[in-house]
Amino acid sequence: MTLAQLRSAVRNFAREQSTEAGALFPSDNVLLDHFINSACDFVVLDLVRELPNQFLAYEDITLVANTQPYTLTKEWLQIWSVNKNVTGDSPNPLTYIPWHSEVLAQYTGQTEAEPPCYTIAGNSIYFLPKPASAKTAYARVWLIEPELATIGTDGPTKIPRIAQRLIPLQAMIQIGTMLETSVSTWAGLYQVLYKKVAEVLGNPIQGQPRLIGDSFGDKALYDTRDPALYDRNGFFD
């Protein structure tokens, strides 16, 4: 749905077509767009639980010698994995260490050419131990990325089209709350549509059975290199 279509849907639901000064949603669309952008954020937070791959993105981090914090350029909601991204090595996940458990990953002043661990402080990723040298695109960060804070004229770019129907309903829940009127009808419609969206779009691969988590096959197959010559799991690193 385009931004114009989202605006029209909310106006129709609210039975407020007037755009004159003093109307609920005047022609400048400032208040209307506020509710649309806010509703979009709420919808993303709901959908991430069922359709995380729809919002999955990645960013590579290049190590700088003796530099520990790295701030991602992308806005993110969750970090799924930080994988080693060195040519010729498996993209094994680096180990996450809570900041208060730093003692498990390094001693004061320690450096490492290829840090095996990381932690998060605020929006920054800290490699543990501190990188000893520069290394281009050493780590690939897989993350959950939200929609833009302000929806463009072409509408949302990550929320699937059918799920975009949730946005006007969520906007009406927030508008009704602002006006101190009952929102039970809108909340009920939202839940009905969300359930249908989650049931269908949340299970996109129908050609083979899938486990709740990764299967052993996902981890062990599809490697044509001779295991006698290639240390897949980095056991001897």
Report helix, strand and coil shares of the chain as percent, to nearest 5.
Answer: 35, 20, 45
Place of tokens 């988590």: 213
Query: What confidence category does residue 82 fall into, taking pLDDT thresholds of 50, 70 and 90?
Result: very high
Residue 224 pLDDT exceeds 60: no
What domain count does the chain have?
A: 2
Instruction: Give the span between the Cα atoms of 207 and 3, in whole angstroms.
Output: 35
| Residue 48 and residue 89 in contact, taking contact as beta carbons nearer than 8 Å | no
Higher-pLDDT residue of 94 and 104 is: 94
Domain membership of residue 41 (yes or no) is: yes
Answer yes or no: do 112 and 167 share one domain: no
Which domain range does residue 12 map to? 3-51+160-201
C-alpha span between 57 and 142 (Å, rounded): 6
In this structure, the answer to whether residues 140 and 61 fall within a common structural domain is yes
Tens-place pLDDT, residues 14-37: 988 877 777 788 889 999 999 999
The predicted pLDDT at position 104 comes to 84
Same domain, 64 and 47: no
Best mean pLDDT range from 5-14, 84-93, 206-215: 5-14
Name the residue among 180, 199, 177, 183 with its Cα closest to residue 38. Answer: 177
Residues 18, 37 within the same domain:
yes
Q: What span, in angstroms and rounded, lies between the C-alpha atoms of 224 and 147?
A: 38
61 and 133 inside one domain = yes
Q: Are 69 and 23 contained in the same domain?
A: no
Residue 173 lies in a domain: yes
pLDDT of residue 77: 94
Whether 105 is covered by a domain: the verdict is yes
Per residue in 143-157, pLDDT (tens digit) is 999 999 999 999 999
Residue predicted with more confidence, 206 or 45: 45
If asked whether residues 47 and 25 sit together in one domain, one would say: yes
Residues 136 and 180 in one domain: no
The reported pLDDT for the residue numbered 8 is: 94
211: number of Cβ within 10 Å: 9
Q: Are strands 117-121 and 78-84 parallel, antiparallel or unpaired?
A: unpaired
For the segment 117-122, the average pLDDT, to the nearest whole number, is 92
Are 21 and 39 within one domain? yes
Residues 38 and 105 grouped into a single domain: no
Positive/negative CA dihedral, 141, 127, 96, 237: positive
What is the pLDDT, as a whole number, of residue 204? Answer: 81
Supply the pTM of this predicted model: 0.81
One-letter amino acid at 97 equals: I
Local confidence band at 89 (pLDDT 50, 70, 90 cut-offs)? confident
Q: Confirm whether 103 is domain-assigned.
A: yes
Contact between 92 and 83 (Cβ < 8 Å)? yes
Average pLDDT of the chain is 88
Cβ proximity of 120 and 72 under 8 Å: no
Does 66 score more than 70 pLDDT?
yes
